[in-house]
């Protein structure tokens, strides 16, 4: 089984970070005790540009969770279809070749889910199996790859699709001027990513483009850390929970997770040629680099993704993965680790071989 293709899609409304910060300063005029705090926090997010689901001037027009979530559904379907189409076109197959869809998002809700709506727009088989995933947050990109790999391990003749659409700008809260929300509005962004995971006996088993094998996966749950990251969901929608303890948890756990995972597969860090990590933010990336004693530029594609498109929640690690498949593939036989962390708090590791 292998990762055959990745396709990404971003909304057309692209802004420099400073322009978004200024728009929020104007929107929240009179609500911020110290307006310069927002500007400073946004400047420290490591983000230079972001794509947003709507034009900046349209956000104040959304009233209540219902309108916001309706906007999420409309944009998620459009972006999701584009990302899936790009992933399919890259390897010359169609939606009719897909046997299972895993859909991950944590920025909106829909029933029927976004994947169901896409089946009505694209030629997926009517008996395609669907697994919507909600609540995993940033870790869902790596976890979705792992769960799709579990599927094609059981059904080696089939191809699974993972789609993540995250529209973080549609969770902005006008009545929350906490530091967590100020950071969130400067760090998280909008985008979609689709990944094709092919069974060992499927039509994509013999790749014509760089396509790493999935050798193993590992989920790790950190008990009693649910206060670290997630949502408080109320009448106005999703209110961010984001603790400054996230880098501390990375420092305390990540090295042991990676070392134990590799040891179980008779490998060490010296065997890993590249790291495909979720672009969680400067402090998270720095914690990953420090905890694993990585050399300079080991996470350059993750830092690049953070600068150019922001933190896309679950879609971030998949956007970084696209960079590796199209620009920085590993040499044949070399190993990579794909990793993300998210609410619970938890981590997901995927061992790849090129």
Contact 91, 5 (CB under 8 A): yes
| C-beta neighbour count of 34 within 10 angstroms | 9
- Exposure b/e, 283-307, CB count within 10 A at least 16 = b: bbbbbbbebbebeeebbebbbebbe
Q: Which pairs count as long-range contacts for 19-22, CB under 8 Å and 24+ apart, including other chains? A: 19/56, 20/50, 20/52, 20/56, 20/185, 20/186, 21/186
Structure tokens, 145:
């790859």
Q: Which of 45, 138, 168, 346 is catalytic?
A: 138
| Rg for the chain, CA atoms, rounded | 19
Check if 168 is active-site.
Answer: no
Beta bridge partners of 102: 131, 162
* 66 phi-psi bin (left φ>0, alpha ψ -120 to 50, beta other): alpha
Structure tokens, 172:
């902005």
What is d(CA 277, CA 255) in angstroms, rounded to the nearest whole number?
A: 14
CA end-to-end span of the chain: 12
**Of 107, 195, 105, which Cα lies nearest the Cα of 151?**
195
Contact 18, 208 (CB under 8 A): no
Contact 283, 245 (CB under 8 A): no
Tell me if the bond preceding 112 is cis, omega within 30° of 0.
yes
Q: Which residue has the tokens 């969130």?
A: 184
Kindly list the catalytic residues. 138
């Amino acid at each position: 089984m292998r990762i055959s293709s990745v396709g990404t899609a971003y909304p057309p409304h692209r802004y420099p970070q400073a322009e978004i910060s200024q728009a929020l300063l104007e929107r929240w005029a009179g609500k911020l005790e110290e307006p310069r705090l927002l500007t400073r926090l946004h400047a420290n997010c490591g983000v230079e540009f972001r794509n947003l689901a709507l034009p900046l001037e349209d956000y104040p027009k959304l009233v209540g969770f219902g309108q916001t979530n309706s906007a999420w559904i409309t944009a998620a379907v459009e972006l999701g279809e584009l990302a899936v189409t790009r992933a399919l076109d890259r390897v010359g197959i169609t939606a009719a070749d897909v046997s299972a869809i895993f859909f991950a998002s944590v920025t909106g809700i829909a029933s029927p889910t976004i994947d169901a709506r896409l089946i009505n727009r694209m030629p997926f088989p009517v008996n395609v199996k669907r697994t919507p995933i909600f609540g995993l947050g940033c870790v869902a990109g790596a976890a979705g790859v792992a769960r799709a790999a579990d599927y094609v391990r059981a059904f080696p003749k089939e191809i699974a699709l993972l789609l993540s659409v995250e529209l973080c700008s549609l969770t902005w809260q006008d009545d929350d001027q906490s530091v967590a929300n100020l950071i969130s509005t400067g760090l998280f962004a909008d985008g979609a990513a689709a990944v094709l995971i092919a069974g060992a006996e499927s039509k994509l088993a013999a790749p014509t483009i760089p396509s790493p094998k999935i050798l193993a996966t590992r989920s790790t749950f950190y008990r009693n850390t649910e206060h670290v990251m997630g949502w408080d969901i109320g009448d106005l929608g999703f209110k961010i929970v984001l603790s400054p303890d996230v880098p501390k948890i990375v420092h305390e756990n990540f090295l042991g997770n990676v070392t134990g995972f590799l040891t179980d597969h008779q490998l060490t860090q010296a065997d890993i040629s590249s790291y495909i990590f979720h672009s969680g933010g400067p402090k998270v990336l720095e914690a990953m680099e420090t905890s694993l004693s990585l050399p300079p530029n080991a996470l350059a594609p993750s830092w690049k993704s953070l600068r150019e498109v922001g933190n896309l929640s679950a879609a971030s690690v998949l956007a970084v993965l696209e960079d590796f498949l199209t620009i920085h593939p590993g040499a044949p036989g070399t190993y990579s680790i794909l990793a993300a962390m998210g609410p619970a708090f938890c981590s997901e590791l995927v061992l790849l071989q090129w």
